[in-house]
Amino acid sequence: MDYLNTHFYPGENSASFGYSGTNYDPAKDTLVYALGGLGEVGKNMYCFEHDDEIIVVDAGVKFPDDELLGVDYVIPDYTHLIKNKEKVKALIITHGHEDHIGGIPFLLLACPIKKIYAPRFAKALIEKKLQERKRLANTEVIEINGDSAIQTDHFRIGFFNTVHSIPDSLGVLINTPNGRIVETGDFKFDLTPVGQNSDYQKMAYIGAAGVTLLMSDSTNAEVDGFSISEKQVAQAINDIMKKTTGRILISTFASNVNRLAQIIKAAKKCGRKVVVFGRSMENVVEIGMQMKTIDVPEDTFLSPELVNQYPPEKLCIVCTGSQGEALAALSRIANGSHKYVKIIPGDTVVFSSSAIPGNALNIGGIVNQLMRNGARVLENSALSSLHTTGHASKEEQKLMLQLIKPKYFMPMHGEYKMLKLHADSAVETGIPKENCFICANGDALVLHEGEVYRSNTRIQTDAIYVDGNDISGLSTSVLKDRKILADNGLVAVVVCIDSRSNKILCKPGIVSRGFVYLKDSQTLIREAEGLVYDALRNAMKQKVTFGDLKNCIKNTLEPFLYEKTNRNPIVIPVILNHVDAMRKDTAAK
């Protein structure tokens, strides 16, 4: 526990609270900010900066909403880290879920990081992910646990075990020159957990020693009481396995390793062979078997090709698709397009999950299709206990606050309403309202001699849309262009020039699509053509490039059209050069 006594200054009740953000001293003060994870569920990424060092905790992705067609992932904007890449000393991972590790390949592509510290199960998932993308060569993935410690020039970092829906989940203790920070990662309190228990003693010891700032998971801030134990879910699944006479299909989150382990053990106990469908689930089961997190003999599993040759009462099919995803295994089974499995009367389909907000309609459609094909469908309810969350409910969040006893509090990992409700809970436990900070991505908190205040500093942050492996931002700009086209249309400006004499050969022509109705807007179009013509003539009194001409057209036309119509169409300049001038240019080359 010696890391508790390193780099910590007790927070005297000094006049430094409210210390002006304009006087932030990067050499003396410690900056805390998020590039993702605030005001949203997903793409978690939290940064701790002091002088010439930045420590990054988690690097996740967010999966796109239904309206983001063609987008595979949403990741944070890494611009700040790219500009300060020499400062980034380490990436620390709290656990192996995609909203905490999914962005690592994209981050390493943009900002090389030599060392990633991750708990055992997350380390295996990260290494598999990086090997698939061939990006492991210059990065060392170092295994950590609840007893590990990391030392840099300005930070000393320790860890404590937490319970989540994936093994080897950690909270993080960060000692800085200006105070002590606890970042919980995703957690819940389960008094009868599957796997390791929460390290209550260490959390209480940390709290007794004094914590300046607590950053805590807010995902279930709207849920009252305590969440049910994973052991209760295991018992419910066992009961279904025993009582069901036909084939069982169970769909859950691929990332819920503890749940998968319980399902597979129950199947083995009831004499059923297990078939796994869904690439992400197959990967997790493979790693779980290697690490004995899923501890069953190899012959528990059946090859997919043999699924229709085995007695239905001796089969358990575990698959992805619990959220109604269109291309997931369960959706394909329901609509009859799966290669190996089709629903037959007498099948029992179990949803060992709860609907993520926004997915209820998709799930309802799958349930209807399954029942139409003759299946019995069981969903989670207050009576069935087929699922429990991996995130702390309201009373568990209060327990964390009581154990850590922070002076200041910053709720994280949640939409705004979740952050606000979590902050309200913190006030209920005795933290002054003025000491609770509800932040957005890019907002910065400053630690100064044991006090915390908001900084006027704001870090550049945005959502970057990824299509395939592209993180250039091109996908982002394409989607923004689609939005502009949908709302405002486009205006194309066609200009004929002779680059030999640097002259315009005729007045520009303007073509509009989806912006204004041309027959009713002739006056506006003629005025715009004249304005562009005058601007180009003035510009071409000097030697200009094609790029200069395009910028001149945009800079002239865009403010004029907005002034006249209050709309911002995409302006596309088209420059046509005289054929003899083009031949001359080609010959010169």
Find the catalytic residue in 217, 387, 413, 422.
Answer: 217
Distance CA 260, CA 555 (A): 58
Active site residue 224: no
Q: Which residue has the tokens 């849309």?
A: 465
Give the separation between CA 166 and CA 188, rounded to whole angstroms.
11
Please confirm, yes or no, whether 50 is among the known catalytic residues: no
The stretches of 8-153 forming alpha helices (DSSP H) are: 79-83, 98-101, 104-110, 120-133
Enumerate residues 6+ apart whose C-beta is below 8 A from 358. 65, 66
Closest CA to 418 of 40, 97, 165: 40
Half-sphere exposure (Cβ direction) of 103: Cα atoms closer than 13 Å: 35
- In the numeric block, the tokens 């994973």 are attached to 230
Cβ atoms 570, 493 nearer than 8 A: no
b/e string for 202-219 if b means 16 or more Cβ within 10 A? bbeebbeebbbbbbbbbb
Residue 578 to residue 297: CA distance in whole angstroms: 76
What φ, ψ does residue 342 adopt, rounded to 5°? -130, 145
Which pairing describes strands 149-151 and 156-162: parallel, antiparallel, or unpaired? antiparallel
From the candidates 100, 154, 391, 422, give the one annotated as an active-site residue. Answer: 391
Give the integer Cα–Cα distance in Å for 300 and 260: 13
Torsion of CA 150, 156, 161, 162, to 10 degrees: -120
Could you tell me which of 59, 61, 79 has the C-alpha nearest to residue 71? Answer: 61
For 324, the token pair is: 């109604």
Q: Which run of H or of E encompasses 117? A: strand 115-119
Query: Residue with structure tokens 């599957």?
Result: 194
3-state helix, strand, coil split of the chain in percent (to 5) is: 35, 25, 40
* CA–CA dist 548, 555 (Å, integer): 10
Angle in degrees, 0-180, between the axes of helices 522-539 and 546-565, rounded to the nearest 10: 150
Q: Residue 225 in contact with residue 399, Cβ under 8 Å?
A: no
- Residues annotated as catalytic are 217, 391
